[in-house]
């Protein structure tokens, strides 16, 4: 009896290990060939549409081009994967030999439906000749539930080291006069293990402004106390934010204490 229990325990442990390995090795299935129910196919189509809209949002894109700052296809995959993880998705970076053309990198995005993880391939740089103005594109043919076969098979997963988040720092103007443009700087923001890619500035009364430049000009129209925010994004898609409260004054206000 004791031996029987030991065998059962061994089988359970073995099954758990094999299950964990299986979960760590994502497999891309063609949804139109996987035998999904109509409800599951509908839910998957909606989830992929939501993912596609998010990928097209220019506010998340690195605005980098291949070769700029030494960025490679792997760097774009890392940025896209990290950004999607920040937005709540489970991701894996994969690569495959592209014959004599080199190595391709892309991202697999895990969508959880009905207790099943469905892996959706995403190309982080759908246009190699332009800046990355969107996080990527779902690698599907005809916009339907059939993935591009060249993104359904890969050679291996890409393991990256843990990413340290950036640190956002605002350097305000020395004095802020109303109706006069003043420069704000974020160049003292740092990333311990990479670089700052995007700067998102938040000023009262207007939509946030995202730029690749570490500086921005802004004009306050009225006297008052304002809160200015800065969010920086690093090369792995991680973000950090900070804010600063400042006073905007008239030109004839010297800021001297009243006697």
170 lies in some domain? no
pLDDT at 13 over 50: no
pLDDT number for residue 253: 60
Question: Residue 130 is encoded by which pair of tokens?
Answer: 């332009």
101 lies in some domain? yes
Please say which residue of 158, 193, 208 terminates a domain. Answer: 158
> Do 228 and 138 share a domain, yes or no?
no
> Do 198 and 140 share a domain, yes or no?
no
pLDDT at 21 over 80: no
pLDDT number for residue 102: 85
Please say which residue of 126, 158, 190 terminates a domain. Answer: 158
pLDDT number for residue 160: 95
Nearest to 241 by CA among 204, 205, 207, 199: 199
CA distances from 187 to 120, 122, 184, 214 (A): 37, 32, 9, 5
- Give residues with Cβ within 8 angstroms of 57, minimum separation 6: 134, 135
pLDDT number for residue 60: 94
> Do 40 and 141 share a domain, yes or no?
yes
129 lies in some domain? yes
pLDDT at 52 over 80: yes
> Do 79 and 196 share a domain, yes or no?
no
**Which three-class secondary structure string do you get for the chain?**
CHHHHHHHHHHHHHHHHHHHHHHHCCCCCCCCCCCCCHHHHHHHHHHHHHHHHHHHCHHHCCCCCCCHHHCCHHHHHHHHHHHHHHCCCEEEEEEEECHHHCEEEEEEEEEEECCEEEEEEEECCCCCCCCCCCCCEECECCCCCCECHHHCCCCEEECCCCCCCCECCCECCCCCECCCCEEEECCCCECCCCCEEEEEEECCCCCCEEECCCEEEECCCCCEEEEEEEEEEECCCCEEEEEEEEEEECCCCCCCCCC
pLDDT at 99 over 80: no
**Distance separating alpha carbons of residues 106 and 104, to the nearest angstrom:** 7
Give residue 144's domain range.
26-158
Query: How do residues 57-97 score in pLDDT, each as one tens digit?
Result: 999 999 999 999 999 999 999 999 999 999 999 999 999 99
Query: How do residues 153-168 score in pLDDT, each as one tens digit?
Result: 999 999 999 999 999 9
> Do 124 and 38 share a domain, yes or no?
yes
Nearest to 95 by CA among 81, 110, 113: 81
pLDDT number for residue 12: 45
> Do 117 and 193 share a domain, yes or no?
no
CA distances from 246 to 184, 229, 242 (A): 12, 11, 13
Q: What mean pLDDT value characterizes the chain?
A: 89
Higher confidence at residue 79 or residue 10?
Answer: 79
> Do 154 and 32 share a domain, yes or no?
yes
pLDDT number for residue 230: 98
> Do 71 and 190 share a domain, yes or no?
no
pLDDT at 235 over 80: yes
> Do 152 and 186 share a domain, yes or no?
no
For 218-233, what is the mean pLDDT? 97
Alpha-carbon torsion (239, 234, 238, 167), positive or negative: negative
pLDDT at 4 over 60: no
> Do 143 and 189 share a domain, yes or no?
no
226 lies in some domain? yes
Q: What percent of the chain has pLDDT over 90?
A: 78
220 lies in some domain? yes
19 lies in some domain? no
> Do 132 and 192 share a domain, yes or no?
no
> Do 49 and 136 share a domain, yes or no?
yes
Please say which residue of 124, 158, 192 terminates a domain. Answer: 158
pLDDT number for residue 128: 85
pLDDT number for residue 24: 60
Banded pLDDT at 118 (limits 50, 70, 90): very high
Give the chain's domain count: 2
pLDDT at 203 over 90: yes
């Amino acid at each position: 009896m004791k031996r029987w229990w030991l065998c059962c325990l061994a089988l359970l442990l073995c099954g758990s290990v094999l299950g964990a390995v299986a979960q760590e090795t994502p497999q891309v299935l063609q949804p139109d060939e996987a035998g999904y129910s109509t409800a599951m196919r509908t839910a998957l189509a909606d989830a992929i549409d939501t993912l596609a809209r998010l990928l097209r949002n220019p506010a998340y894109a690195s605005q980098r081009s291949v070769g700029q700052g030494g960025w490679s296809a792997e760097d774009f995959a890392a940025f896209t994967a990290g950004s999607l993880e920040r937005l709540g998705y489970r991701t894996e970076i994969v690569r495959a030999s592209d014959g004599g053309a080199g190595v391709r990198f892309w991202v697999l995005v895990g969508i959880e439906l009905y207790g099943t993880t469905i892996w959706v391939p995403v190309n982080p740089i759908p246009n190699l000749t332009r800046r990355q103005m969107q996080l990527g594109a779902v690698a599907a043919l005809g916009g339907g539930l059939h993935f591009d076969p060249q993104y359904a098979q890969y050679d291996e997963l890409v393991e990256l080291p843990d990413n340290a988040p950036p640190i956002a720092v605002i350097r305000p103007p020395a004095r802020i006069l109303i109706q006069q443009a003043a420069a704000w700087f974020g160049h003292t923001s740092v990333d311990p293990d990479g670089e700052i890619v995007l700067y998102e500035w938040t000023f009262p009364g207007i939509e946030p402004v995202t730029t690749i430049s570490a500086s921005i000009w802004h004009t306050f129209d009225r006297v008052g106390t304002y809160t200015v925010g800065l969010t920086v994004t690093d090369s792995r898609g991680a973000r950090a934010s900070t804010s600063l409260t400042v006073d905007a004054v008239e030109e004839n206000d010297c800021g001297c204490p009243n006697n």
